[in-house]
Chains A and B, each alone.
Chain A
Amino acid sequence: MIIKGKKFPGGIHPFYGKEFTQGGATETLPLPDKVIIPLSQHIGAPCKPLVAIGALVKKGELIGETTGTIAAPIHASLSGKVTQVAPSPHPSGNQILSITIESDKQDEWIGDFEEHPDYLNLDPDTTKKIITKAGIVGLGGAAFPTHVKLNPPKDKKIHTLILNGVECEPYLTSDHRLMVEQPQEVIEGLKILTRILGIKKAYIGIEDNKPDALRIMEEAVGREGDRLVETKVVELETKYPQGGEKQLIQAILGLEVPNGGLPMDLGLVVQNVGTAAAVYEAVRFGRPLIDRIITVTGRGVMQPKNLRVRIGTRVEDIINYCGGFAGEPGKVIMGGPMMGPAQFTLDTPVVKGTGGILIFPKEEVSIEESRACIRCAACIEACPVGLLPNMLSVTAEVLNFTEARKYHPLACIECGCCSYVCPSRRPIVHQIRHIKMDLASTKKKVVMV
């Protein structure tokens, strides 16, 4: 039975643009000539390169080793020769140490992987080790290393898993297509995750603008019967940012994660549906995470598509495969329009957390000047967290960070709803990030003293 979700406060209804790609079956991008693989594709410490220029690598070979516990290893996504180990453009806009591999056209795997047809009977520690080694991170965008969420501290009793199939970012449809095309892999992933966590309850949250995904996931759950823990598919209102971890928890369970805390404080683990499918593939076939589904979309690209691409594939290769730009490109965004960073070069590669590439033609990019806050309160109404974005904005504008701190900047999830609705076109999220950076820098100073 599909149950209905509750409401979370605030949020917005932007133009969704999902129709460009939601009906298009996922294609696989042919082998690219080269990939550029950044050594930091997750939240946490960057990896250390294990290969030097000239090295020959195979598909699936470990090329970046973790240096801390909150990190995920990095693997080659094709076979060939390492031609560069140097800082390169990363979707975040920074230069990140990356390994460039030129393809030898053989596309060979590094030996045989240890498969586990009996993956449901493995003991949790073995499964966790496989997931850690496979380099899996949250594929919903935050790219938090998955194994960390699966190892909660002893005092946190986890009882419920929530699979996030919301995909609330406008335009993106990769999770949607995954649920429609490969529901079983998501379900198998869910089984593995619930076994690792030793829990009896799970939810799958999906927005009501994906009726086919809702139906297919519900059928898949129904077929499993007792083989699955108690699992409910939840139909959620289509409203951005419904897929924000905290908003999702609020909409499904009516609970709020304590301020400054984590879902595990409520006994919850939230994973993206794509992550669940990746977990299944890693555990069942023993293969590391070297590709993912992304959505290439927007009016600025000739043939919008859902595409399975290798990690490290350059934006340019992907756009070329999709028929090139339609008209003059205005903006190329990695991810969705609400939270995705705009790119200044087409050399940027797809990383594990990339959900899509959105291309706006020039006519669709307008730059309106920002002006004084007219206190219309639209931002306050739109903020899902209950902040006063206008106050954060005006205090940051005059660099009064002491005052700004009174308005809970750290609770901001940077969803961008406030900036979206602002009739004065104030760059509110940007200003809040400024406040956060200032906070972080003063904290460091305190530590140093």
Chain B
Amino acid sequence: MVLGIWPHVRTETNVNRIMYTVIATLIPAALAGIYLFGWSAIQVILVSILAALITEAGMQKALKQKITIIDGSAVLTALLLAMTLPPGSPWWMTVLGSFFSIAIGKQIYGGLGYNPFNPALVGRVALLIGFPLQMTTWENIHPFLSGADVTTGATPLGVVQVARLSHKPVPDADTHQFWNMFIGNTMGSLGETSDLLLLLGGVYLLYKHYITWHIPVSMIGTVAAFSGIFWLIDPAHYANPLFHVLSGGLMLGAIFMATDMVTCPNTPKGQLVFGAGCGLLTVIIRMWGGYPEGVSFAILLMNSLTPMIDRYIQPHLYGAK
């Protein structure tokens, strides 16, 4: 007979199940990326995952730890990273990003659970800093399913930035364009284009209770509100808030990255603060920063505040005055 401390029953949810479920909810948006960008996208995804698995297994072996690549967390990080990269990124850049994500973003701290920053974003930002050009140009794309028209030219946020830097009015978008941005028929990083499919994935995660609404709603809401204020004041030089909400990596970031359990605050109130901070920083970087997109930096910066938020915002203790 077996002993063991109570409780003697446990929920069925375990770490592996959470990781693979999140991976599954990312797949529709990733498939949209493959549809749009073809082989180039497939290559980025596969290279990223393979590099992550090898890095994690290699480091764990070197440090004589238990090898845990089966738990799905490395695959999830690699997939998330791939989705933030331009399709057609050279393979060595993908490998480097994936290595950074796992080695510097996660294993160096002791592995899953101990990392203070979202590992996928650590990899992405390392690449953004190291290879700004490659990270913001869209080349070598070989679609095989979709027409080629969306795969040329700049991203919507890129267009806005160019206008801003040359002090020209920002181009206004029409309903048709907004719709295209929503369903994903637009230029962008591999897996960030289809807001619709990302939202669907998010709804499923909400239903499974692997994320809560607090971060996505407060982050997206803050982006809309904050960018909306400027748009109302000066619509010629500031983009429509709907444009801010639908473009770039906001959906991907708000639903799948800012909500990363390991690196976001623990309490609903803390998460609202965190999400609002992410949203605010995103808009600030987009409007006044050197990069067209600010989601990654915003989330990483807020990650660094997570311990502080958790210290100051704690649940109500039963019976406390």
> Residues on A close to B: CB < 8 A?
9, 12, 14-15, 170, 246, 250, 256-261, 329-333, 337-344, 358, 360, 365-368, 371-378, 380, 383-388, 390, 408, 411, 416, 419-425, 427, 429-430
Contacts and interface: CB of A to CB of B under 8 A. Distances in A.
- B5, B9, B266, B321: residue with the most chain A Cβ atoms closer than 10 Å: B9
Given A375-B113, A375-B266, A384 B9 contact: no
B15 A388 contact: no
Contact of A419 (B7, B14, B17, B266): B7
A337 B262 contact: no
B291 to A, nearest CB: 29
Given A375-B263, A429-B6, 4 more contacts: A14-B9, A246-B319, A377-B267, A411-B317
A9 B315 CA distance: 10
B7 A429 contact: yes
B112 interface: yes
A374 B261 contact: yes
A260 B266 contact: no
B126 interface: no
Contacts of A333: 6, 8
Interface string B1-14: 11111111111011
A259 B320 contact: yes
Interface of B: 1-11, 13-15, 17-18, 68, 110-114, 210, 261-263, 266-267, 314-321
A435 B262 CA distance: 24
28 contacts: A246-B318, A257-B319, A259-B318, A330-B1, A331-B1, A337-B6, A339-B7, A340-B8, A342-B2, A342-B3, A342-B4, A342-B5, A344-B3, A365-B2, A371-B68, A372-B112, A372-B113, A374-B113, A374-B261, A376-B210, A378-B13, A380-B267, A419-B6, A420-B7, A423-B13, A423-B15, A423-B17, A429-B7
A377 B320 CA distance: 21
Contacts of A358: 8
- Report whether over half of chain A's contact residues are helix, strand or loop; otherwise say mixed: loop
A12 B11 CA distance: 10
A7 to B, nearest CB: 13
A338 B267 contact: no
A380 B111 CA distance: 22
A343 B15 contact: no
A368 B2 CA distance: 13
Given A360-B8, A367-B4, A420-B7, A256 B319 contact: yes
Given A260-B319, A344-B1, A380-B315, A375 B10 contact: no
Given A337-B7, A423-B15, A425-B10, A373 B113 contact: yes
Contact of A331 (B2, B68, B263, B320): B2
B18 to A, nearest CB: 6
Contacts of A416: 6-7
A423 B18 contact: yes
Contacts of B210: 376
A421 B317 contact: no
A256 B3 contact: no
Given A360-B8, A420-B7, A261 B15 contact: no
Contacts of B111: 372
B9 A374 contact: no
A377 B112 CA distance: 15
A388 B315 contact: yes
A358 B112 CA distance: 36
Contacts of A261: 319
A339 B6 contact: yes
B122 to A, nearest CB: 17
Contacts of B9: 14-15, 170, 337-338, 420
Given A337-B7, A374-B113, A386 B315 contact: yes
B267 A371 contact: no
B4 A331 contact: yes
Contacts of B267: 377, 380
B81 to A, nearest CB: 19
B262 to A, nearest CB: 5
Nearest to A388: B314
B317 A385 contact: yes
Contacts of B3: 331, 342-344
Nearest to B7: A416
B318 A256 contact: yes
A259 B1 CA distance: 39
Nearest to A8: B318
A340 B317 contact: no
Contacts of B13: 378, 421, 423
B316 A429 contact: no
A335 to B, nearest CB: 8
Contacts of B321: 258-259
Nearest to B318: A385
Contact of B18 (A12, A258, A376): A376
B4 A372 contact: no
B286 to A, nearest CB: 29
Name the 4 nearest CB pairs between A and B, nearest first.
A372-B113, A416-B7, A259-B319, A386-B315
A372 B319 contact: no
B112 A338 contact: no
Nearest to A332: B1
A386 B266 contact: no
A375 B261 contact: yes
B68 to A, nearest CB: 8
Contacts of A423: 11, 13-15, 17-18
A365 B13 CA distance: 16
A408 B319 CA distance: 12
A340 to B, nearest CB: 6
Contacts of A258: 319, 321
A256 B267 CA distance: 21
Contacts of B17: 423
Scoring A376, A383, A430 by chain B CB atoms within 10 A of each residue's CB, the highest score goes to: A376
A46 to B, nearest CB: 23
A427 B11 contact: no
Nearest to B11: A421
A420 B319 contact: no
B15 A424 contact: yes
A423 B8 CA distance: 14
A390 B113 CA distance: 11
A232 to B, nearest CB: 23
A282 to B, nearest CB: 31
A296 to B, nearest CB: 16
Nearest to B210: A376
A367 B5 CA distance: 11
B240 to A, nearest CB: 35
A185 B3 CA distance: 37
B155 to A, nearest CB: 33
B7 A338 contact: yes
Nearest to B16: A423
B4 A368 contact: no
